[in-house]
Amino acid sequence: MPAIDLSGIRAVVFDTDGVVTDTARVHAAAWKSALDPFLRGRSAPFDVREDYLCHVDGRTRLDGARTFLASRGLDPSEEEVAALGEAKDRVFLAQIERYGVAAFPAAVRLLHELRHRGSRTAAVSASTHCHRVVTAAGLMHLFDVVVAGRHDQPGPASFEEGARLLDVPPAEIAVVGDTLPGIEAAGQGGFGLIVAVDRAGLAFKELGAHVVISDLAELDVTGRVRL
């Protein structure tokens, strides 16, 4: 069983959406709601699986919109991109306000085990709503640091910001993510262990992942225990 060995790892940084909380599908559905009216007469509808995973997941809201539309050969104005991002945001916030946020049980168990053994933890997201999502899921007490994305920086930069706020060198940090941009950025950032949660058969190994699993229940923790 693959493991996070805390004899060499002092902290673990988690991508929130789709790894800790079941919100990736909510993001994807919100994007479809915002994009499909714009795409009508221009291109095929937004695919909540293929398009979201390949072009949007792990990116900031505006960068995700630009990247996806470019994949369809569309060149919208910045005003149109901003309007699409705002429309998506309204739908997403309405959904979590109405239905709440669910956490993956395996992620909660892993976080408790890491905290019990003395590891520091961070939650990061390309979304600007990371704090709201983590709070709504009732998980704030399991993280030392929560990092939300910003419009003026790439989404994957959140991992580096998490390391900075934890004050732990990247070489002593494990990253757990499920997005192509995030895993690629972690691979380039010199993180000590990169764990990719792959539920869609993506090429994470090629982007620098050391371990690829389909569920966090497959991941063990060994090493240090807090006294």
Dihedral, CA of residue 195, residue 198, residue 203 and residue 205, to nearest 10: 20
CA atoms within 13 A on the CB side of 28: 18
Taking Cα atoms as reference points, which of 112, 225, 122, 214 lies closest to residue 173?
122
Q: Give the domain extent around 64.
A: 24-99
DSSP conformation letters of 48-91:
TTHHIIIIITTS-HHHHHHHHHHHTT----HHHHHHHHHHHHHH
Q: Are residues 179 and 88 in the same domain?
A: no
Q: Are residues 95 and 108 in the same domain?
A: no
Give residue 56's pLDDT: 94
Task: Supply the residues annotated as catalytic.
Answer: 15, 17
Give residue 212's pLDDT: 96
Burial grade of 39 (CB within 10 A; 0-12, 13-18, 19 or more):
middle
**Grouped pLDDT means (10 residues each) for the chain, 227 residues:** 94 96 95 98 96 93 95 96 96 95 97 96 93 96 93 71 95 95 91 94 92 96 81
Give residue 152's pLDDT: 59
Asked if residue 130 belongs to a domain, the reply is yes
Q: Are residues 55 and 109 in the same domain?
A: no
Q: Which amino acid is at 63?
A: D
Asked if residue 227 belongs to a domain, the reply is no
Count how many domains the chain has: 2
Residues across the chain? 227
Asked if residue 115 belongs to a domain, the reply is yes
CA atoms within 13 A on the CB side of 92: 25
Asked if residue 65 belongs to a domain, the reply is yes
Taking Cα atoms as reference points, which of 219, 183, 175, 174 lies closest to residue 202?
183
Q: Are residues 122 and 76 in the same domain?
A: no
Among 43, 64, 99, the domain boundary falls at 99
Q: Are residues 8 and 52 in the same domain?
A: no
Among 81, 99, 117, the domain boundary falls at 99
Give residue 155's pLDDT: 59
In this structure, are residues 148 and 132 in contact, taking their beta carbons and an 8 Å threshold? no
Q: Are residues 16 and 84 in the same domain?
A: no
Q: Are residues 36 and 46 in the same domain?
A: yes
Asked if residue 174 belongs to a domain, the reply is yes
Asked if residue 89 belongs to a domain, the reply is yes
Give residue 84's pLDDT: 97
Asked if residue 169 belongs to a domain, the reply is yes
CATH of the domain at 218: 3.40.50.1000
Asked if residue 214 belongs to a domain, the reply is yes
Give residue 78's pLDDT: 95
CATH of the domain at 89: 1.10.150
Q: Which amino acid is at 147?
A: V
Q: Are residues 119 and 181 in the same domain?
A: yes
Q: Are residues 122 and 196 in the same domain?
A: yes
